[in-house]
Structure 1
C-alpha cells in the first residue's frame, strides 16, 4: 500500500486542473515522486479563506471519517506555508459539470445518467446512515474515476442529523456560504420555516442533478433567486427536455434566446427516468422516497447489460490517458502550467 506522506517536496506539480471553493482553493495534477503515481492536490489559500476556516476543517475531518467507494477519499492532508494541502486520488474524468461543459453541452445519454445517479444514491444511503445531510449535491460535486466510478464530494456543506446523541427529526440551520448551491437546494431548506428539513432534502437535489445531467445545463439557470424560490415553493420543478416535454411549436414561440436544438427536440428519455426525477421532486418531504427506496426503482435494472461508463463517455478521455506517465508529456504539461496568461481556472474540480 502506497504511503502518501505529508511533505510538499514529495509532490511535483504537473499542471493546474481547476479551482473550487469560490476560487479560494486550486486543484493541481501532481506526481507523487516516491510512488511515481498521479494524484490530485487541493490547496486552500488560508489567507483567502480566513472566516471560512471551519468549513475547510469540517470537510477534511468528515471526509477522512467516511469510508465508501462512492465518496471521495483523502490520502493525507498537511500544512505547507500558508496553504492547507489535501491529497486525493486522481478522478480522471473530473466532475460531471466538466463533462457537460467540455463534451456534452446538451446532456449525457440516459444509461450514463442512470449509472452516475445509482452511485450517488449509494453514497447518500451511507452518508445518511452515518447521520449527515450532504446539502450540496450538484454535478460539480460528483467526480468520475478512470474506471467510471462516481464519487461524491463537497462535504464542507454537510450537517449532522445527530445532535447531543439524539437523532433529530428536523434540522433548522441554513448552510453557510451556499449561494452557488441555491438552485439545487430543496424548497424546505430555502423556506427556513419552523418545520425544518431532514435528509430527504438531498433527494430533491438528486432530482435537480438528473435534470442537470440530462439537459446539460444548471437547473433554473438565468432565473433570479427570488423567482427560483417562488417556483420551488409552488412545486414548479425543472423537466427533462425531450420531445415529450417540449414541442417544436413551443420552441419556436420562445424566440431565439431559448431555442433548443433539433437533437433535443427529437430525443426521448424513458418514462422510468421521467418518473425517477418526479419522485425526487415530491413536494412534501414526508412523501419523498429515501435514497435506499429509490435504489429499488426498476430503472437501475436497465443498465446491467449496458456498456461500461467510460465507453459511454466517449469522446471524453480520462486524464491518465491524456497525460499518462510519459516523461516528455509530463514536462510539456509542466511548462504549460507556468504560462500565466492561459485561462486554466475555468473547470470545477472540487476534490
Structure 2
C-alpha cells in the first residue's frame, strides 16, 4: 500500500526545514520493520547535535501510517521539559523526517547495559524516576495513558535532563469530548513491553484500565534500574500473566529481600535473577543507598533505603485503586534525598560513563576519524528501542 506524503503535511513544522542544513553522521539504527533509519546529525546553523528519524512512507502500510500519525498528533500537543520534543517534522521526497535533540547519555537502559549491570546507585535512580513522574503527571493531566513506560524510553541529555519518549503507544482517555473513566484498547506492537504492563492491561477484561497502569509500569522500571534487569523478563507470556494476576510482586534486590545464605553464593546461583522477592533477611555488612559493601561481594549485598522500598511497593499494588497518582508520588519521601539540580548531580553519578559529544567543530579532513570515534562511543546504545 503506497502512502502519499501529503497525509503528513499537517504535522510538519519548519524550525529546521532544510535537508541541506543537516549533516548526517553515523546510522544509529533501524526500526519500524526496517522502514525507519535513525541518523546522528549536526544542524549546521547552530552546531547542535540532533537525531533524525527517516521513514520511507511509500513502503508503509496504512496501519503503520495511522500509528505514526497518532504519535505525531500527540507530539504537537505536548510541551513539557521532561518529554522529548520534536524540533522539526518535514517531508523530503518520499521520506518523513522527524528531528529531535540527540540525548548524549542515551537511554537509562543503555546505561544499565553498558556499565550498571547490577543496577544503579539509588540517588541516580531518584533523579531519573522524578523526571519520569513529572512527564507522567503532565501526560495524565492532558488525558492520556503512556502505556510504554520503561527504561529504554527514558533518555538523558548531556546536561542531565531526563526526558520520556515512546509516545507511539499512547492512548487518550477523551471520548466524544468527555474524559472516560477507563479504556479497554490493548496497545499495538506491545510484545517488547509486556514485562512492564500492569495486570489490568494484560487481562483485557471489561473493567479496563486508566492512568494508574502507568504507575505500575513505573514500579517495574524502578526495579529495572535498581536490579539491572527487568522482572519477569525470562518468563513465557502466559506465566507472566498468571504471576501478575495472582499478585506476585517484584522487588528491589538487596540485603532486606534476599536470604543471607543466597548472598554468600555466586551471583549465577543466587536465584535472584527473576527480580521476584524470596523473603526478608537480616544481618551482614552492607552500605545504604544501594552501594555494594565491597567489590568482591555479591552484587546485591547492598541496602536500599526504606523510602525506596516503600515507593516501589506503592507503585506495584495489585489493586490500581491503591496506587497513588503521579502528582502524589512526586511528593514521596523517597525524593527528599535529591539536593542538587540534575545537571550538577547526574554526570557525577554516571561516571565513568561519558556523554557522546565533541563533533560540533569537525573539519572535513577529520571526518573519518571522528566518525569512527562516534561509532565506537555509540556501540553500547540500543537505539532501535529508543522510540525517539
TM-score (norm 2): 0.82
User: Deviations 1:244-267 (Å, cap 9, x if unpaired)?
Assistant: 111342364996485778342311
Q: Which residue of 1 aligns with 2:357?
A: 320
Q: Does 1:201 align with 2:236?
A: no
Q: Which residue of 1 aligns with 2:257?
A: 245
Which of the residues 302, 305, 308 maps onto 1:273? Answer: 308
Q: Structure 1's 97 and 165: CA in aligned 2 closer, same or farther, altered over 3 A?
A: same
User: Deviations 1:285-329 (Å, cap 9, x if unpaired)?
Assistant: 1111000111111111111158611110111111125x4534365
User: Deviations 1:230-289 (Å, cap 9, x if unpaired)?
Assistant: 111111122111111113423649964857783423111111111101000011111110
Moved more, 243-252 or 217-226: 243-252
Q: Which residue of 1 aligns with 2:29?
A: 18
Q: Which residue of 2 aligns with 1:155?
A: 167
TM-superposed deviation, 1:18: 3.2
Q: Which residue of 2 aligns with 1:30?
A: 41
Retained in 1: the 8 A contact 2:143–2:174?
yes
Q: Which residue of 2 aligns with 1:129?
A: 141
Give me the whole-angstrom Cα distance separating, in 2, the residues matched to 1:345 and 1:245: 31
TM-superposed deviation, 1:81: 3.4
Unaligned runs of 5+ in 1: none
Q: Which residue of 2 aligns with 1:42?
A: 53
TM-superposed deviation, 1:37: 2.0
Which of the residues 120, 125, 128 maps onto 2:132? Answer: 120
Retained in 2: the 8 A contact 1:19–1:346?
no
TM-superposed deviation, 1:133: 0.4
Which of the residues 136, 139, 142 maps onto 2:151? Answer: 139
Q: Structure 1's 24 and 207: CA in aligned 2 closer, same or farther, altered over 3 A?
A: farther
Give me the whole-angstrom Cα distance separating, in 2, the residues matched to 1:54 and 1:197: 23
Please give the residue correspondences for 1:100-115 in structure 2 after superposition, counting only pairs within 5 Å.
Answer: 100-115=112-127
Unaligned runs of 5+ in 2: 1-13, 274-295
Give me the whole-angstrom Cα distance separating, in 1, the residues matched to 2:255 and 2:382: 32
Give me the whole-angstrom Cα distance separating, in 2, the residues matched to 1:338 and 1:244: 41
TM-superposed deviation, 1:336: 7.6
Retained in 2: the 8 A contact 1:19–1:345?
no
Q: Does 1:292 align with 2:327?
A: yes
TM-superposed deviation, 1:82: 3.5
Aligned-partner SS, 1:264: coil
Q: Which residue of 2 aligns with 1:212?
A: 224
Retained in 1: the 8 A contact 2:156–2:162?
yes
User: Deviations 1:126-185 (Å, cap 9, x if unpaired)?
Assistant: 101111000000011100011111101111100001111111111111111111111101
Q: Structure 1's 338 and 272: CA in aligned 2 closer, same or farther, altered over 3 A?
A: closer
Q: Structure 1's 67 and 343: CA in aligned 2 closer, same or farther, altered over 3 A?
A: closer
Q: Which residue of 2 aligns with 1:310?
A: 347
Structure of larger gyration radius: 2
Aligned-partner SS, 1:266: coil
TM-superposed deviation, 1:103: 1.4
TM-score (norm 1): 0.90
Aligned-partner SS, 2:90: strand
Q: Structure 1's 231 and 76: CA in aligned 2 closer, same or farther, altered over 3 A?
A: same
Give me the whole-angstrom Cα distance separating, in 1, the residues matched to 2:33 and 2:312: 29
Give me the whole-angstrom Cα distance separating, in 1, the residues matched to 2:375 and 2:163: 30
Q: Which residue of 1 aligns with 2:317?
A: 282
Q: Structure 1's 90 and 203: CA in aligned 2 closer, same or farther, altered over 3 A?
A: same
Q: Does 1:191 align with 2:203?
A: yes
Aligned-partner SS, 1:91: coil
Give me the whole-angstrom Cα distance separating, in 1, the residues matched to 2:54 and 2:367: 20
What is the count of residue pairs matched by the alignment? 346
Which of the residues 73, 87, 96 maps onto 1:84? Answer: 96
Q: Does 1:349 align with 2:360?
A: no
Give me the whole-angstrom Cα distance separating, in 1, the residues matched to 2:199 and 2:59: 31
